[in-house]
Amino acid sequence: MNAPHNPAQAKVDQVKLLIDGQWVESKTTEWRDIVNPATQQVLARVPFATVEEVDAAVAAAQRAFASWRDTPIGARMRIMLKLQALIREHSKRIAQTLSAEQGKTIADAEGDIFRGLEVVEHAASIGTLQMGEFAENVAGGVDTYTLRQPIGVCAGITPFNFPAMIPLWMFPMAIVCGNTFVLKPSEQDPLSTVMLVELALQAGVPAGVLNVVHGGKQVVDAICTHKDIKAISFVGSTEVGTHVYNLASQHGKRVQSMMGAKNHAVVLPDANRTQTVNALVGAAFGAAGQRCMATSVAVLVGKAREWLPDIKAAASQLKVNAGCEPGTDVGPVVSKRAKERVLGLIESGIREGATLELDGREVSVPGYEQGNFVGPTLFSGVTTEMQVYTQEIFGPVLVTLEVDTLDEAIALVNRNPFGNGTGLFTQSGAAARKFQSEIDVGQVGINIPIPVPVPYFSFTGSRGSKLGDLGPYGKQVVQFYTQTKTVTARWFDDDSVNDGVNTTISLR
């Protein structure tokens, strides 16, 4: 909950805004505590920036664009090369902060950073990604070619669950294309994001090219409606993502909005049993289920329904503890409010008639009794009308459904409104080919539980999980952050023949 600044907490660090290359203290009266979810310790306080401060950040980005857009591609690439080296050098330090503010295990925090780092590395190849096309002699002495040019000031709004990876999906690709950027990190865990921005400045990103503002809905709306912002990238909940897409689109902006999910894993009885069970448990309960690509539904086909005891046994062996503790498999969820929501949905599953195979509601962690812990929770006997199926739980809860055939499983997945990711576990090439062809989901894994593409490709969620036709990173994001200019040119020698006046639209 937001609260006015309390002088008694003056010793707690206050997160600053980055405007025009300077870290400045906000003049706001509205602040939020950044809380360690395992201990409830207040790590720092983050300001909810004023509209005037958002305007100042955008104005700085607008001024910087005039020169940054003309900075040679090679110079921009070298900044990305320096940034990726700095991230590697400081990744363990950033991971410690990320774990403390978000709750992830150290290993998962390092993975969060690494998946973002991959995009920074790909940004260093912008020289080939931003190339246009050329066709010689499309008519007599006429050539046509295209230029991919930056569009101006862009903005990014990021979620709490990946405070390193998602910002690194956004600002490096935007600025390496020649744009300037205003970043709004999650107000729940901005500290590790700020550390990455500090490294970007150290790598040589000029003043005003990258700016940071903090806040909630007022700041989001100010970004969505600002006349000088050309494009907005959003990752987060469906409710907020739909609002961002609609509001920003109404104000003439390009928008990519990656939103909620209900990811299914379809298990055929011919799959490798041990590997499949391990994959399901890791994808369902890793990061306490707080991944938009988490596997939250297992569809057991035919005799694969007999594997339920194996799934339960593997899940029950996971160690719940603070993320900083060695050997932790499942850390806390991000906040008390998040825990209450997860517990409420578990209660709804029991009330609606599902069978609670594994109950994580009463887990207690010695030394961390105040933590927001929910243990691995497993339901069977779930139907598609139950809230534990229809709602994105965003906690360590896996529900199982049973069908008789692969065709039934495909139909079940396709009826779900979300289309972020899905997986099939099988040893049949024919079944895999049928599945990837007929499934109506943007990202498909074959014996892969979390099919997030590498940066050479693009993140391709679909249907209720995505608004906008271009995804973050990869080739698609270069299209998103640039505009195509087509040039048709003819040059004449001084002694060239005069063809006379042409009153048609044809070239000759």
Burial (CB count within 10 angstroms: exposed 0-12, middle 13-18, buried 19+), residue 503: exposed
- Of the candidates 293, 330, 402, 414, the residue with the CA atom closest to the CA atom of residue 37: 330
- Of the candidates 434, 349, 445, the residue with the CA atom closest to the CA atom of residue 397: 349
> What is the three-class DSSP state of 200?
helix
**CA gyration radius for the chain?**
25
Q: Is 452:115 a contact under the CB 8 Å cutoff?
A: yes
Nearby residues of 199 by Cβ (< 8 Å), 6 or more positions away:
83, 86, 87, 90
**Taking CA 469 as the corner, what is the angle to CA 468 and CA 475, rounded to the nearest 5 degrees?**
125
Q: Is 178:281 a contact under the CB 8 Å cutoff?
A: no
Alpha carbons 14 and 268: distance in angstroms, whole number = 52
Nearby residues of 271 by Cβ (< 8 Å), 6 or more positions away:
304, 425, 426, 427, 447
Question: Which DSSP category does 492 fall into?
Answer: -
Alpha carbons 363 and 288: distance in angstroms, whole number = 13
Helix orientation angle between 73-102 and 191-203, rounded to the nearest 10 degrees:
160
Options 154, 177, 224, 292, the catalytic residue:
292
Q: In this structure, which long-range contacts are made by residues 408-411, counting pairs with CB atoms below 8 Å and at least 24 apart in sequence?
A: 408/301, 409/264, 409/266, 409/299, 409/301, 410/266, 410/434, 410/435, 410/438, 410/439
Alpha carbons 346 and 397: distance in angstroms, whole number = 8
| Identity of the amino acid at 132 | G
> What is the three-class DSSP state of 487?
strand
Query: Which tokens hold the place of 28?
Result: 């706001």
Q: Is 224 annotated as catalytic?
A: no
Phi, psi at 462, each rounded to 5°: -145, 180
Nearby residues of 198 by Cβ (< 8 Å), 6 or more positions away:
none
Query: Which tokens hold the place of 476?
Result: 């698609």
Alpha carbons 54 and 52: distance in angstroms, whole number = 5
Length of the chain: 508
Q: Is the dihedral of CA 70, 75, 77, 80 positive or negative?
A: negative
Measured torsion, CA atoms of residues 235, 237, 243, 249, in degrees rounded to the nearest 10: 30
Residues with a catalytic annotation lie at 292
